[in-house]
């Protein structure tokens, strides 16, 4: 069990969340050539160490989050909403 | 002579007597007893038979490390095998029995195995029965499987009940600033100091009393030190859980606890669970888990009457049981002397063997004062006695080895081979224990987490120093958590007046002895050397080959001996050999506790539609569809399932039927950019969907495979009502949220799951318009002109019930889907059924729904299984060529557009009277082999066509197989059936009925 500090709900068990994937992937525009999509969808790094990844707080606020997590130690360095506008609104609300 | 109860002393309550049975014989004990202490006090010594050799076994410890006194508790459905008698609290009416023996542990015919023991060495089963001629010639592992059954019966542990577990278990959750594991001197001090500093402290103790090793000391009710400490702990506000084991430590301060709630009660309240499985999140954790005393490998060291010194001390002082009259205490360290003195004061004749060459002061003087003869340079060589020890042969140090020494008569032997700190929980966090040669034990390694180790768990032997180390750990935790407390410096490990002499095995050249390393698994010192000779030199291989350190005690007493012997055989240091990895659980956790309440109907959530009771009242038989309960069929007059669904499907085609479709996923897609969003998500165009129209849409995954399908209704410029399949409702919702939040944050769209907010029913069949028209306040909204195929209208039903109606069809008939706010669901059904029933209509369930859609070749989850492209599903024309959408790039990968991919087809039996099964493989008639050319996904009897039909996938699609003989191969179930491959649109392919 790892614990994820959700910026909205506080620190919660990871069983409330669903793992998304590598958050560093830039999905290409819909009209991009298949080669670009192939890279984005299939070619993944298997990171040992700190990795930015998406998690969905499915049984919480339903927000998609970007979590910086060490894949070796589970240390969590940062958590922020994936949506830049929501992240900014959260910052301003503080 | 054997053990006896002392007339006074101990922590038992002599004013009450508890009766219990052992192998159906009535015995008694007192509150405060464990089963082991009560059995010892009753003169019982032989309590078990060993795993492999059926050797007699007795109590070897006074705690969780027990590997001798494993018994079966309870009767019938509550029969619980392999219970450690040393930790089971006594209660009135307790029923215990010996195990792995027939007829009983005292006269066990299985003991014949002991005579054959030289054949039963490590790896015996594999060497003898696996792959060795003549047992296996040409037979695979069949013979092995047969032998294994016999062997498992002869060698083994207790037998579990096969009846369902009648007890209840609970899951519980908690939080704390500081979790303290273990309530000995270190843990008590740590908990008190931390709580006094203002922390929320949870103290857990596996025993039923707090005190740890303090409980093993002479109990003087007049002395109040222990009681005062307990009162201070309680007064400081420490939350205390006894009978609770911290069995595992996990990431981020999460601990797993097992609380035994009723296992010590004669008549527990039926409202209480047997056990609670706790998940605790602690900001800091202090492990004050103590240390376990090690055994020494010497000949027949498993005889009843041989136990650890600390166990002897515990039985004497805590349970007031004098374990023997003529006692030999054998040690290699200082810790055994206290017990020897106390045994002598209690009246036993005590002889002390010390493997070291000198006895340090003041221990030697104290021993002399009690009349204890101390033999230095002396160690136990072999216990004698058939069922219980009656003499001990000794060995005398001879250079680095041993030679035979004197033999002493005795009725009890207490052994101390040194101490192993309980580093298990610490190791769960990935911190490797580090061998300390001076103390001859593993100490907890570096961890880097908010985890502190205190007391004997850190290799600190002195009681006062343990307390100090507890306070030091608490101060460190409190400081880290922002409390200002004076720091305390932690004492160093160690604390004996003279060093330990490492001693793992005593043997004399030329003598063959059965010297047990791991008593529970019948692993001997010779087995370890055999493993070495056969090349199993890594500790992990040693464990798996010999079973050293496996089973319920996980090698708590024997592992270090095994490592030491392997190190010796390899000519290495123990530090180089290392140790096996400790993993949770520290002590066994029952499957019932892991399951908690989550079994049977509570295994997963249950979802019922608002019309659930209405459906039941109208004759529905329900079935599971994911988490949902849905009507399966509505039998009339004792109809079978088959009769009912065929009638229902026919009625829909000829008259009208109503079907609860509430379980479909429903998502409100709202916002100025909703249209653009849908246009990107669906393969087909949504940009020009007019208000008041619905469209069937397909969405793909990024990789171009079909994710889901459903209809989406445009209610206004900015408001859409999306429906999804029942199975994928949650997945689609998550996907839409991901797209909006992570990929397209610029789109001004909000998605809301409204699946629970709307109750839905399908009204299908030629009479559907008539039925619905009679139920809406303005029937004109339903005319073909006002509501053409795929039209949407928001209106009201009779009585003003707000509703949404779309003219869409899954059945292929003229049909409508009607949604009302969930609470109006039954009212809607009443309105519709009042009209439909007199018209000869029916209610239909999932089975008829399936029949109707298979006739039409409409796909569901059975077809859209995550491997199917939009072309495979025969829906390629739904993929727009003039726009880009999710999956549009990758759906055209070469392998996904090959002509010979399996495509959706219809299947007819060649002989129309025959049937076939979903899951059958479709093979060309001349080659019924392998994976075939396709498969069948769904089968129904078609009332419209009058015979069985199916849907499936076939290489190249139906046109490629026109007129060719094909076999639905189902060799292990229904057998093979000749079939024809046809268009999946098996009924009304032009859709005239639906549009009419």
Min distance A9 CA to chain B CA atoms (Å): 16
Q: Which residue of B has its CA nearest to A55?
A: B738
B120-179 tens-digit pLDDT: 666 665 665 555 544 445 555 555 566 666 665 665 677 888 899 999 999 999 999 999
Chain B residues whose beta carbon lies within 8 Å of the beta carbon of residue A5? none
**CA-CA distance, A25 to B702, in Å (whole number)?**
13
Per-residue confidence band for B920, with pLDDT thresholds at 50, 70 and 90: very high
Neighbours of B424 (CB within 10 A): 26
* A93 at interface of B, judged by CB pairs closer than 8 A: no
Number of domains within chain A? 1
What's the distance, CA B407 to chain centroid?
Answer: 51
CB within 8 Å: A1 and B703: no
Average pLDDT over chain A, rounded to an integer: 95
Of residues B129 and A67, more confidence is placed in: A67
Residue B549 β-bridge partners: none
**What's the mean pLDDT in B746-769?**
97
Closest CB from B703, B737, B890 relative to A64: B737
- B372-377: long-range contacts at Cβ-Cβ below 8 A with a sequence spacing of 24 or more? B372/B340, B372/B341, B372/B344, B375/B351, B375/B405
What is residue B977's three-state secondary structure?
A: strand
**What's the mean pLDDT in B784-813?**
96
Say which DSSP state B294 is in.
Answer: -
Q: State yes or no: cis peptide before B799, omega within 30 of 0.
A: no
* Predicted TM-score of the model (pTM): 0.91
* B250 at interface of A, judged by CB pairs closer than 8 A: yes
Write down the residue that tokens 């009710």 correspond to: B221
Q: Which residue of B has its CA nearest to A72?
A: B430
CB within 8 Å: A62 and B737: yes
Q: For the domain that residue A50 is a member of, what is the CATH number?
A: 3.30.2270.10
What is residue A62's three-state secondary structure?
A: coil
**What's the mean pLDDT in B840-868?**
95
Q: How many CB pairs under 8 A join A and B?
A: 72
CB within 8 Å: B741 and A74: no
Q: Which residue of A has its CA nearest to B730?
A: A58
Q: Is the pLDDT of residue B53 over 90?
A: no
**What's the mean pLDDT in B238-244?**
98
Chain A residues whose beta carbon lies within 8 Å of the beta carbon of residue B742? 20, 23, 54, 64, 82-83
Closest CB from A20, A54, A83 relative to B745: A83
State residue B308 phi and psi, 5-degree precision. -75, 155
* A83 at interface of B, judged by CB pairs closer than 8 A: yes
* A7 at interface of B, judged by CB pairs closer than 8 A: no
* A72 at interface of B, judged by CB pairs closer than 8 A: no
Q: Is the pLDDT of residue B477 over 80?
A: yes
CB within 8 Å: A64 and B741: yes
Write down the residue that tokens 């003598």 correspond to: B511
B665-692 tens-digit pLDDT: 999 999 999 999 999 999 999 999 999 9
What is residue B623's three-state secondary structure?
A: strand
Closest CB from A34, A63, A84 relative to B890: A34
Min distance B510 CA to chain A CA atoms (Å): 51
- Return the ∠ at Cα B688 (arms to B682 and B691), rounded to 5°: 105
Closest CB from B254, B884, B888 relative to A1: B254
Per-residue confidence band for B537, with pLDDT thresholds at 50, 70 and 90: confident
Q: Which residue of B has its CA nearest to A28?
A: B743
Q: Quick one: pLDDT at residue B126?
A: 60
Min distance B543 CA to chain A CA atoms (Å): 27
Q: Quick one: pLDDT at residue B34?
A: 98
Q: Quick one: pLDDT at residue B128?
A: 58
The H or E element containing residue B698 is strand B694-700
CB within 8 Å: A34 and B893: yes
Interface test with A, best of B679, B740, B889 (most A CBs within 10 A): B889
**CA-CA distance, B736 to B725, in Å (whole number)?**
15
Closest CB from A27, A34, A63 relative to B743: A27
Min distance A30 CA to chain B CA atoms (Å): 6
**CA-CA distance, B245 to B588, in Å (whole number)?**
10
CB within 8 Å: B251 and A74: yes
- Locate all alpha helices (DSSP H) within A1-94, ordered by sequence: 34-42, 84-93
Min distance A19 CA to chain B CA atoms (Å): 11
* A54 at interface of B, judged by CB pairs closer than 8 A: yes
Min distance B369 CA to chain A CA atoms (Å): 56
Token code pair at residue B65: 């490390």
- Lowest average pLDDT, out of B40-44, B49-53, B263-267, B570-574, goes to B49-53
B966-995 tens-digit pLDDT: 999 998 888 899 999 999 999 999 888 888
Interface test with B, best of A8, A55, A56 (most B CBs within 10 A): A56
**What's the mean pLDDT in B175-197?**
97
Q: Quick one: pLDDT at residue B136?
A: 46
Interface test with B, best of A10, A58, A62 (most B CBs within 10 A): A62
Domain carrying residue A51? 3-92
* B253 at interface of A, judged by CB pairs closer than 8 A: yes
* A19 at interface of B, judged by CB pairs closer than 8 A: no
Min distance B733 CA to chain A CA atoms (Å): 10
Q: Which residue of A has its CA nearest to B430?
A: A73
**CA-CA distance, B452 to B447, in Å (whole number)?**
9
CB within 8 Å: A3 and B888: no
CB within 8 Å: A3 and B251: yes
- Of B459, B461, B492, B490, nearest in space to B474 by CA: B490
Per-residue confidence band for B931, with pLDDT thresholds at 50, 70 and 90: very high
Min distance B544 CA to chain A CA atoms (Å): 27
* B279 at interface of A, judged by CB pairs closer than 8 A: yes
B313-344 tens-digit pLDDT: 999 999 999 999 999 999 999 999 999 999 99
B414-467 tens-digit pLDDT: 999 999 999 999 999 988 999 999 999 999 998 889 999 999 999 999 999 999
Min distance A85 CA to chain B CA atoms (Å): 7
* B946 at interface of A, judged by CB pairs closer than 8 A: no
Q: Could you give the maximum distance between any two Cα atoms of chain B, in Å?
A: 114
For the purposes of burial, counting CB atoms within 10 Å of the CB of B433, is it exposed (0-12), middle (13-18) or buried (19 or more)? buried
Chain A residues whose beta carbon lies within 8 Å of the beta carbon of residue B252? 1-3, 74
Q: Quick one: pLDDT at residue B156?
A: 61
- Return the ∠ at Cα B990 (arms to B986 and B996), rounded to 5°: 115
Token code pair at residue B727: 């199975």
């Amino acid at each position: 069990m790892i614990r994820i500090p959700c910026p909205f709900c506080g620190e919660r068990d990871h069983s409330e969340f669903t793992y998304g994937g590598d958050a560093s992937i830039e999905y290409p525009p819909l009209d991009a050539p298949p080669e670009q999509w192939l890279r984005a969808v299939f070619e993944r790094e298997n990171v040992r160490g700190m990795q930015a990844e998406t998690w969905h707080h499915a049984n919480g606020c339903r927000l998609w989050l970007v979590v910086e997590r060490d894949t070796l130690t589970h240390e969590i360095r940062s958590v922020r909403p994936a949506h830049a506008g929501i992240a900014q609104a959260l910052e301003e609300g503080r | 002579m054997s053990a006896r109860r002392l007339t006074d002393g101990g922590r038992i309550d002599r004013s009450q007597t508890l009766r219990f049975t052992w192998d159906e014989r009535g015995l008694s004990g007192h509150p405060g007893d464990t089963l082991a202490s009560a059995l010892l006090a009753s003169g019982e010594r032989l309590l078990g038979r060993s795993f492999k050799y059926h050797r007699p076994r007795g109590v070897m410890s006074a705690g969780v490390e027990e590997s001798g006194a494993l018994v079966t508790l309870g009767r019938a459905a509550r029969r619980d095998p392999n219970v450690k008698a040393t930790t089971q609290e006594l209660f009135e009416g307790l029923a215990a029995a010996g195990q792995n023996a027939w007829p009983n542990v005292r006269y066990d015919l299985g003991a014949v195995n002991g005579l054959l023991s030289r054949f039963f060495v490590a790896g015996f089963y594999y060497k003898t029965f696996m792959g060795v001629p003549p047992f296996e010639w040409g037979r695979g592992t069949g013979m092995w499987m047969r032998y294994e059954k016999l062997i498992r019966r002869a060698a083994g542990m207790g037998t579990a009940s096969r009846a369902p577990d009648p007890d209840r278990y609970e899951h519980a959750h908690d939080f704390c600033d500081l979790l303290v594991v273990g309530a000995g001197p270190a843990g008590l001090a740590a908990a008190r100091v931390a709580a006094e500093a203002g922390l929320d402290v949870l103290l857990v103790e596996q025993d039923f009393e707090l005190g740890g090793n303090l409980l093993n000391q002479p109990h003087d009710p007049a002395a109040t030190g222990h009681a005062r400490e307990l009162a201070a702990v309680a007064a400081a506000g420490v939350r205390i859980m006894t009978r609770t084991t911290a069995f595992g430590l996990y990431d981020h301060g999460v601990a797993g606890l097992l609380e035994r709630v009723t296992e010590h009660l004669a008549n527990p309240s039926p409202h209480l669970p047997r056990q609670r499985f706790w998940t605790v999140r602690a900001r800091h954790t202090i492990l004050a888990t103590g240390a376990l005393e090690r055994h020494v490998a010497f000949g027949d060291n498993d005889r009843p009457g041989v136990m650890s010194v600390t166990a002897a001390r515990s039985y004497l002082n805590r349970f007031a049981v004098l374990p023997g009259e003529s006692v030999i205490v054998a040690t290699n360290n200082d810790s055994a002397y206290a017990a020897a003195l106390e045994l002598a004061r209690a009246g036993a004749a005590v002889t002390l063997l010390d493997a070291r060459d000198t006895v340090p002061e003041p221990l030697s003087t104290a021993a002399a004062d009690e009349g204890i003869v101390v033999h230095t340079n002396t160690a136990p060589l072999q216990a004698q006695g058939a069922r219980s020890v009656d003499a001990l042969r000794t060995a005398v140090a001879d250079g680095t080895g041993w030679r035979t020494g004197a033999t002493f008569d005795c009725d009890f032997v207490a052994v101390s081979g040194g101490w192993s700190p309980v580093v298990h929980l610490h190791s769960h966090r990935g911190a490797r224990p580090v061998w300390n040669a001076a103390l001859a034990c593993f100490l907890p390694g570096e961890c880097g987490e908010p985890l502190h180790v205190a007391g004997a768990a850190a290799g600190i032997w002195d009681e006062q120093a343990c307390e100090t180390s507890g306070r030091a750990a608490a101060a460190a935790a409190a400081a880290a958590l922002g409390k200002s407390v004076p720091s305390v410096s932690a004492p160093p490990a160690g604390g004996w007046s003279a060093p330990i002499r490492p001693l793992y095995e005593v043997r004399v050249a030329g003598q063959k002895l059965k010297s047990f390393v791991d008593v529970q698994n019948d692993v001997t010192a010779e087995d370890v050397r055999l493993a070495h000779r056969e090349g199993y030199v890594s500790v992990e291989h040693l464990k798996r080959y010999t079973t050293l350190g496996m089973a319920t005690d996980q090698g708590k007493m024997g592992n270090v001996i095994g490592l030491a012997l392997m190190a010796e055989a390899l000519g290495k240091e123990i530090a180089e050999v290392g140790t096996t990895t400790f993993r949770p659980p520290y002590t066994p956790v029952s499957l019932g506790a892991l399951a908690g309440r989550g079994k049977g109907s509570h295994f997963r959530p249950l979802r019922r539609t608002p019309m659930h009771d209405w459906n039941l009242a109208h004759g529905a038989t329900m079935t599971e569809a994911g988490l949902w309960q849905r009507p399966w069929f509505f039998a009339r007059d004792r109809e079978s399932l088959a009769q009912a669904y065929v009638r229902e499907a026919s009625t829909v085609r000829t008259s009208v039927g109503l079907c609860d479709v509430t379980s479909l996923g429903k998502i409100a897609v709202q916002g100025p950019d909703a249209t653009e969003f849908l246009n990107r998500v669906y393969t087909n165009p949504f940009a020009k969907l007019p208000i008041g129209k619905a469209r069937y849409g397909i969405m793909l995954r990024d990789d171009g495979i079909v994710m889901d399908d459903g209809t989406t209704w445009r209610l206004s410029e900015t408001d859409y009502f999306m429906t999804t399949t029942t199975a994928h409702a949650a997945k689609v919702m998550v996907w839409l949220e991901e797209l909006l939040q992570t990929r397209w944050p610029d789109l001004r769209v909000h998605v809301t799951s409204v699946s629970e907010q709307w109750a839905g029913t399908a009204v299908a069949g030629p009479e559907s318009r008539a039925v619905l028209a009679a139920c809406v306040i303005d029937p004109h909204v339903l005319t073909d002109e006002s509501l053409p195929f795929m039209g949407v209208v928001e209106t009201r039903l009779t009585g003003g019930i707000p509703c949404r109606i779309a003219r869409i069809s899954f059945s292929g008939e003229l049909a409508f889907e009607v949604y009302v706010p969930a609470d109006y669901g039954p009212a809607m059904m009443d309105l519709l059924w009042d009209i439909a029933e007199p018209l000869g209509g029916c209610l239909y369930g999932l089975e008829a729904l399936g029949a109707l859609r298979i006739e039409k070749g409409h796909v569901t989850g059975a077809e859209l299984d995550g491997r199917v492209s939009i072309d495979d599903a025969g829906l390629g024309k739904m993929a727009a060529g003039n726009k880009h959408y999710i999956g549009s790039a990758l759906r055209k990968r070469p392998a996904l557009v090959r002509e010979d991919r399996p495509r959706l087809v219809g299947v007819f039996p060649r002989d129309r009277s025959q049937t076939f099964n979903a899951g059958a493989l479709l093979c060309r008639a001349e080659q019924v082999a392998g994976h075939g050319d396709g498969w069948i996904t769904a089968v129904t009897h078609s009332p419209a066509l009058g015979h069985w039909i199916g849907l499936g996938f076939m290489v190249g699609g139906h046109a490629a197989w026109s007129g060719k003989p094909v076999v639905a191969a189902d060799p292990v179930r229904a057998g093979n059936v000749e079939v024809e491959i046809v268009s999946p649109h098996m009924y009304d392919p032009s859709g005239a009925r639906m549009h009419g």
